[in-house]
Structure 1
Amino acid sequence: MSRVNEVRSHFLTFILVAMIFQSLVATNTAAAKPGDLSINAVISPAPGGTFTTFDIVSIVVEIENNVNDTSPERTINWAVCTGEKTYQACFGDSLFDGYKILAGMDGNQTQQVEIGSFTDWNQNRSYTLAVGFDDYDQNVTNDKITSQFTLTNAYVDLSIEVSNPFSDIPFLTTFENKYVINSNTDYDLEFPYTLESCGTCVFDATFGWKLYSSDGQFLVTESNYTETLASTSGIEKAFTGALPTFSHIAQGSFLMEFGLYNSSGNVDAIPSNNVHTVPIIIDDSLDIKALMMFPTQDPTSSSYYFGEDGVTLEIENDGYVSVYDFSVSLTIKTRGGTQLSVETCTVSDLHPTEVEECRFDINNLGDLTFEANVQQIFNGTVDQSSSNNKIIEETSVIAGIIDPVIIQSNPEGLYYTGDNITLRVEVSPFAATPMTYTWKHSSIFDLGSGSEITFLGSELGGMGLYRIAVYAYDAAGNMESTSIEISVINSTDISHEPYFSGTAITRAHAYSITSLDYPIINGKYNPGQNLSALRLLSFELFSDDPNKDIGLEFYEITFNLSNMFPANIPFDSIDIHQLNDINGTLWTDLSGEDEPERVDNYTMKITLKHPIHLLFVGELPTPEINISEIDFTQLANGGLKLNWTTSGDIENPYIGNLFIHKLTGGEFGLNFFTPVEENYNQFAWDTLLSDSRVAVLT
């Protein structure tokens, strides 16, 4: 080729390349989107990670809008290929690919977006993931990304959950959110973890712990063990593992790392979740503090009270070591320093931050000095702060009031002769204990001793009213007494079944006479509008001994309204009044404690403290009575024999008399009774009945 032709050829080639370059630039410039969306990172599958081939692999990326304006809608493409490939090569040789249309993102926002997923079943190989926008924006350098990962059909992942193995150890305290433990002490620790391993996987796990310096730079000591873990058949399951027993000889601040340190067989796929680290403090400081001392009965009182448990001392474990079976003492002295007594208290155990109480007796009165002391040496270890092991207080001791009160098993104070009567005495919390008690009845007869006594009502000598007294003696030699009255009673049955049941409570043997009757016919009881007098009840109580008062406490009667009255009477209309005289018609209302109680629609109840006459009132509907089949037989001497049939509410006790009237015909004919339901005229009827009655039937 000639030089001219060579130059011409090179020139044409240059022109062609230049045109192609110019064309590409022009194309990108024309397709460029406004703004700047960047693909910051691949979130899933995690770059460099190994995952099971039997799960769906989700593709998640982090997208960021780097400008203030909302981004336009964008299309993002993805491709998955085998091996390690470039962005273009992966799209050209993809096993799986897809795209997602992204809606506009607010300015300066970051979000994680799932753009697709895939499954490559039962494989064991590496892959490349390529992700990029379909068209470029104003910054093309962050519009695409690639990452590598691995899928395996022998997947094993053991993940140590975030936890603190010392959180389940009892009686530990914390300092600055770090658990404080003791040196030369064995701690059995546990930790939670999850495991996912394939059905054919063999997984040997080495669990353990490592103790580092507080800055994590130096390994102080470690311990581990290995065990073979069973397959989970490809399912993630939760477990609790045990660490080797932890113990360390030195005190100080440390970091303790724990978890999975090695695996063999099918090795763990994600080492980043195999261990967890917690800070700990090893401290054997001992500080048992006498916290405060106060009167047990009243912590706000300036004086203490003579007797048992008069002083309360609070002891606190302000250190980091549990202590066991130690003693606390209280020395009581005169103000001049003479020792009067020493009381001791043994505390079985006291753990860090716990507060325990010791109580001491006070057996002296007057102005005194109390000195409380807490033991300072525990198993050879000296309390680091002996200044707070002692409390000294100058105070006065008084004998509190006794103020006895009798509590009885029946608050009403009523007992039958065969009843067990239980009486208990309570005294003021300020009383000088221990207390002693003596019980008497009628001032002279002994009933027993102690804070509670039980005896039969018959032991008092029969029915009647008795005064029971208790004499309370305190530890300082003071005495106060109190008394109550109780009734030993008799129960008399005053029932009249099936109409009512009742009981009269008396202090003597008694019997009753009752009378249940109907009101006086045509009696003017004036019970109220639409009401009628229905029944009368009277009863009397008599003593078996005519010379002895029955001592009535009360009587209680329960009425069965459905048996006392006909069914056509509305039971809810019934009321009970006090009748002044059983043979009279004057009455008064029952009120207050005597007021009747309506238990339900069929039952009423009344409680009275003296015998009275009762009047029952209520609505009284007209009975339904029918007379039919009337005929007559003519007798000698002009007599007639009448026959008829009666039906309806014939059992109703409130039916009146049956009157028979006879009309005699006159010279010009007869005046007959007309049916009341036809053209009824009251005046005409009254005229016909005025002098025609010939018989009255009851």
Structure 2
Amino acid sequence: MPDSFIAAYDSIQFTVLVENNFNSPSPASRLLNWYACEGVKPTNVCVTNSDDNGVINVGTILPGNMMTFTSNDYFNPQGYSGLMTIVYQFDRMDLNPGDDVLSFTVNSTLEFVDLKLDYDVDIMQSLNDLSTYDGDFILNSNKTYNFTMDGFANICGSCDLNATLGWQLINSSSKEIINESLSNYSNFPSFGFYKSFSNNLPSFSHNETGTYILKYGIFNSQGNPNHDMFSSNNLNEITLLINNDIDLRLVSFYPSHNPASTTYNYGNNMVTSEITLHGNKSVNNVSILLEVIDSNGIVKSSDSCLTGKLRPNEYIFCQFNLNSSGNNLIIIITIPTDIEEGIDLKPSNNIIDESTEIIIPPLSAYIVNNNPKQWYSTSDAISLTGHANIFAPGPVNYSWWYSGIVNLGYGENLNLNAQDLGLGEHTLRLTARDIFGNIENVFYSLDIYYYVEFDNSPYLHASSATIETSIIEVESILPLVGESYGVGNGKSPLMLISFDLNGVSSQQNSFTGSNWMDIEFNPTEILPSNVPFDSVEIRKLDSLNDTIWDLFDSSQLTTNEIDQNITLTIYESTTVLIVGEMNLPNIEATNFTTSLAPEGKFKIDWQPVGELENEYLSGWNIYRLVVPSTGGTVFPSSNQLYSQLVWDSLSADSYLTTVPIETNSWNDLSNRDEGECVSYAIAPVDRQGVIHFEKANVTTDENGDGTFVCGDNIPPNSLVIQLTHSWEFTNSSDCFK
């Protein structure tokens, strides 16, 4: 680096070569300071008045050894143009301080020019399809190669440079130049700092094999105002191997249908062979030959395969047709040894043979339904495809038949309209035939039904399929009044719905055992709003009059919690019992009042409000407690805490009657004795006799608390006193009015 050039705006690192002349290792923490000064300065002046400075860490050096160290920090002249003084000085002097300081000058210029190779890039990497030997790439003779060279250019913006790029092929023994190719290039990046570039070198070709030295890079340069200022980083040399050896190898061959099989199948592409090129030269379209020979040495059949382009160390797979069959046959595969690219070095690995049996694969025909259904309606289209063993000798012919008699078509695909076949169960036949006349029949059954549905949206929807025109008959009733059906678990019977399937013409049940009916229930529409969906279940009855239920099989039921519906599949006439928990009904007797009636009787009035059309409410139960005028137990009002035990006790002997749910008044026709008072209660009751005392209304006082009302059955006792009268006489004959 002394007396060399540096770029005025380039950041550089300082490097130093240090030798240990002492008889023991140098300390590991020794520091070497560097100083940079503009102009030519004495050493001591530059050290004390440097324009920039830094440190180089010097590690341990063994006695008599030299090592190179580089600064961690960078130096930039900041545009200064001219000579600069650089001083290296150890921070601590040793026994010989005379060699602990080094001073030199460099030329910082605004017209800096330098081209250098990128030695980290191997130009051989720019070539494709090369063979290698011990990590070295191998080229072929008489073949043209185009190398790409990578490097860096630091050229000032006002500088021009023309460089000679190229290569030289050198004899590795005599070091003589055998061949060379050079070209001029001037379009380098010029940004005033190192910028990468990539250039194509002149095409390379050589007509002889051997081991050579390839020198490449920047051989010369001319520029204005300067040429390349550093030539030490312009050229590189590599060992170049040129070799044309060819070694094609047959690795193996095996049955294509099953590599582990000991027999081969007759047909196309039934043999697969693996071939590789272990030489150094690519080959093109080598014809590989397969022959089948019988025990008498007669060739029964043959086939060939072209390799295409095969590169060094590349594997390919060739497939061959087997056009003969039988026992005790020999399959031989051969690679030619004399090909266009040259002579194969090892003919011994160019042939393989195997004694085997070649069989004709069975048809193994089968049918695929492209639109599979358990049954079809008359409006459906049916699409079937015939298949056979992919290894069966083809082409395979297909024909389709109805009941084995009527031809439906030819070819592997069959498309039918279900209506053309008609209602019922039908059997189709597929006949497959190979090129040897071998036949195989496959049968396929189709059920075509009449589609019928019953749509009572939004409550329920039912659909089915039958072999005759049919109708779905649905009947629903409410559970018998007072009948619990043995449901239990706090649930109540809510609805009975029967489903039947009958033929229109035959008037017979259309369930055959092979068909079914799909039913979708929407309980939120069928049942009152006070029945939670998650409490709803369905049970099975034999008829609408049956009260003994059974559970459906879990495979018949699907509950959709999101859409809140239940899907049921039945295979016979069925009655469904819907059960669930009935929460408090949305019903109330508002404005409940108790008033006196003649002869000591009473009348109660109320206004029924809520689900008056709720079929599960059978009416209002009316209760009466007789209380002495001095006070006693009365029905509790809603102001008090509800207790079922209290209501069960009070209602045990106080029931009077049940009136329809739409009723708004009732007259108590019983007579009360003197001193007897009453407390009334009214509560809704459902069809199973469940009384909802939580919804009860009672006789209350002005504060809304339960109370009693006293009657009056004593006739009034009245007396006229202090009666006076007067007379009036007129002359009229009319009666007095």
Query: Do the aligned partners of 1:199 and 1:231 also contact (CA within 8 Å) in 2?
Result: no
Cα shift at 1:102 = 7.3
Q: 1:491 to 1:238 in 2, by over 3 A?
A: farther
What residue in structure 2 maps to residue 696 of structure 1? Answer: 660
Query: Do the aligned partners of 2:619 and 2:659 also contact (CA within 8 Å) in 1?
Result: no
Cα shift at 1:300 = 2.3
Note if 1:581 corresponds to 2:539: no
Identity of aligned residues (%): 25
Query: Do the aligned partners of 1:596 and 1:607 also contact (CA within 8 Å) in 2?
Result: no
Aligned AA (1:306)? Y
Query: Do the aligned partners of 1:590 and 1:596 also contact (CA within 8 Å) in 2?
Result: no
| 1:511-539 deviation per Cα after TM superposition (whole angstroms, max 9, x unaligned) | 21223554333322333423333333332
- 2:183 corresponds, among 212, 225, 238, to 225
What residue in structure 2 maps to residue 590 of structure 1? Answer: 552
What residue in structure 1 maps to residue 200 of structure 2? Answer: 242
Note if 1:392 corresponds to 2:353: yes
Cα shift at 1:471 = 3.1
Describe how 1:290-369 pairs up with structure 2 within 5 A: 290-352=250-312, 353-369=314-330
Cα shift at 1:139 = 5.7
What residue in structure 2 maps to residue 603 of structure 1? Answer: 565
CA distance in 1, matches of 2:618, 2:234: 104
CA distance in 1, matches of 2:150, 2:527: 78
Note if 1:462 corresponds to 2:426: no
Query: Do the aligned partners of 2:620 and 2:658 also contact (CA within 8 Å) in 1?
Result: no
Query: Do the aligned partners of 2:146 and 2:202 also contact (CA within 8 Å) in 1?
Result: yes
What residue in structure 2 maps to residue 682 of structure 1? Answer: 647
Cα shift at 1:497 = 0.8
CA distance in 1, matches of 2:199, 2:418: 69
Unaligned runs of 5+ in 2: 663-737
What residue in structure 1 maps to residue 722 of structure 2? Answer: none
- 1:417 corresponds, among 344, 361, 378, to 378
CA distance in 2, matches of 1:332, 1:426: 29
Query: Do the aligned partners of 1:660 and 1:696 also contact (CA within 8 Å) in 2?
Result: no
What residue in structure 2 maps to residue 155 of structure 1? Answer: 112
Note if 1:124 corresponds to 2:84: no
CA distance in 2, matches of 1:64, 1:650: 113
Describe how 1:486-635 pairs up with structure 2 within 5 A: 486-546=446-506, 549=510, 551=512, 553-600=515-562, 602-630=564-592
Q: 1:349 to 1:689 in 2, by over 3 A?
A: same
Q: What is the number of equivalent residue pairs in this alignment?
A: 650
Aligned AA (1:697)? I
Aligned AA (2:647)? Q
| 1:481-507 deviation per Cα after TM superposition (whole angstroms, max 9, x unaligned) | 333323223432233211234432444
Query: Do the aligned partners of 1:572 and 1:601 also contact (CA within 8 Å) in 2?
Result: no
Aligned AA (1:465)? E
Query: Do the aligned partners of 2:266 and 2:325 also contact (CA within 8 Å) in 1?
Result: yes
What residue in structure 1 maps to residue 684 of structure 2? Answer: none
Note if 1:183 corresponds to 2:183: no
Cα shift at 1:287 = 3.5
Aligned AA (2:245)? S
Q: 1:80 to 1:610 in 2, by over 3 A?
A: same
CA distance in 2, matches of 1:597, 1:215: 91
CA distance in 2, matches of 1:666, 1:500: 56
What residue in structure 1 maps to residue 680 of structure 2? Answer: none
What residue in structure 1 maps to residue 445 of structure 2? Answer: 485
Unaligned runs of 5+ in 1: 1-45
CA distance in 2, matches of 1:194, 1:658: 104
Cα shift at 1:214 = 4.2
What residue in structure 2 maps to residue 646 of structure 1? Answer: 608
Query: Do the aligned partners of 1:290 and 1:316 also contact (CA within 8 Å) in 2?
Result: yes
Tell me whether 56-65 or 462-471 shows the greater mean CA deviation.
Answer: 56-65
SS in 1 for 2:525: helix
CA distance in 1, matches of 2:293, 2:597: 124
SS in 1 for 2:125: helix
SS in 2 for 1:600: coil
CA distance in 2, matches of 1:280, 1:142: 45
Q: 1:105 to 1:175 in 2, by over 3 A?
A: closer
Query: Do the aligned partners of 2:377 and 2:449 also contact (CA within 8 Å) in 1?
Result: yes
What residue in structure 2 maps to residue 9 of structure 1? Answer: none
Aligned AA (2:255)? P
CA distance in 1, matches of 2:415, 2:218: 71
CA distance in 2, matches of 1:656, 1:229: 105
Q: 1:216 to 1:612 in 2, by over 3 A?
A: farther
Query: Do the aligned partners of 2:365 and 2:388 also contact (CA within 8 Å) in 1?
Result: yes
Query: Do the aligned partners of 2:189 and 2:195 also contact (CA within 8 Å) in 1?
Result: no
Q: 1:694 to 1:174 in 2, by over 3 A?
A: closer
SS in 2 for 1:458: helix
Note if 1:271 corresponds to 2:228: no
Cα shift at 1:621 = 1.3
CA distance in 1, matches of 2:174, 2:523: 91
Cα shift at 1:477 = 4.3
Q: 1:512 to 1:643 in 2, by over 3 A?
A: same
Cα shift at 1:653 = 4.9
Q: 1:693 to 1:168 in 2, by over 3 A?
A: same
Q: 1:417 to 1:267 in 2, by over 3 A?
A: farther
CA distance in 1, matches of 2:613, 2:214: 98
CA-atom RMSD in angstroms: 4.0
